[in-house]
Amino acid sequence: MKKILVTGGAGYIGSHVVKALGEAGYRVLTYDNLSTGNRWAVLHGELVVGDLADREKLEQVVGDFTPDAVIHFAAGIEVGESVGNPLKYYRNNTANALGLLEVLKAAGVGRFIFSSTAAVYGIPETIPVDETAPLLPINPYGASKMMTERFLVDLSSAEDSFNYVALRYFNVAGADPQSRIGQDYKNPTHLITRALKTAKGEYDQLQVFGTDYPTPDGTGIRDYIHVDDLAAAHLSALRHLLDGGRSEIFNCGYGQGYSVKEVVHAAKKVTGVDFNVVEVPRREGDPPALIADNRRIIEMLGWVPRFNDLEYIIKTAWAWEQAVAEVRGRGR
């Protein structure tokens, strides 16, 4: 039974990967400070509450658990917050990643999967964007992830025994089909989650940022990937490393996009609620379209998307929104 250490495994994406790891028979240990994660979201294995900045505790956990591989999620993810408080993101996302890599190197742990982001591309010149596109992030969040990717490239080049896979996520959405876990942030910024919470009445309106983009309906286009398909991509990356595979970088998306208006229409159809939508000016730095070229992960890792259906993605997220209060209550 291979042992996998997951940092940030109590968060939205991390918890779905922990679920997939447990169901696949891996022994899992989650290390999370619970700043945005939840105890009840860790469905398999052990949870150790700790911060990556706590070097002594991190060294003890790694030394005691002796993981075969590490999957690193723990990070801040809000673009707007990163613009207002960049040093927080460079410390949490970049400096803490450096400290984690130092601990792993000292412990002889040489397999690493990194939770990266399409934000490293900034505003790409070519759509769909592939992994060879220039990295030109336009906010501290994307820059903090890009810096960690550079750590991995350099460490892998210097150490033959260290190999990594960096997965660049596009727009992750949806929830566990059984509604055991899902997105549960205090201030969600994702479009689908905001739309569904507006349908629930938690917000009085949904803001649409920009209707004058050079797209068919004037709103931004994004590539939405179901969180369970993303979890499956992590397991494919893990098998690649455990089988002796070398360092690689992959986009994680479906290779097609939906506009904001298309997402709003689908959310209204799924929920049956004609919620209030308000059009407001663009947000600075939002690209007109961001769609993954996903051929590399399909061809090299054999990843097969199963849930490439916008309405299905929204249905699982909507079911989660109906269940979240009860799940929170059980988890206390």
Active site residues: 141
What CA–CA distances, in Å, run from 99 to 53, 86, 94, 106, 306?
8, 19, 9, 11, 36
Task: Choose among 257, 42, 283, 76: nearest CA to 170.
Answer: 257
Which residue from 29, 134, 117 is spatially nearest to 79, judged by alpha carbons? 117
Tokens (6 digits) for 67:
């993981």
Enter the tokens of residue 190. Answer: 């994702």
| Three-state secondary-structure class, residue 94 | helix
- Tell me if residue 258 falls in helix, strand or coil: strand
For the chain, the C-alpha Rg in angstroms (whole number) is 19
* 175, two tokens: 């929830």
Please report the beta strands in 237-297, taking only residues with DSSP state E, as ranges in sequence order. Answer: 248-252, 258-259, 277-280, 289-290
Q: Are 291 and 129 in contact (CB under 8 A)?
A: yes
Q: Which of 47, 45, 49 is nearest to 24 (CA)?
A: 45
Measured in whole angstroms, how far is the alpha carbon of residue 325 from the centre of its chain?
23
Helix runs in 244-294, H state only: 260-271
Burial class (CB in 10 A: 0-12, 13-18, 19+), 102: middle
Which phi and psi (to 5°) does residue 232 adopt?
Answer: -65, -35
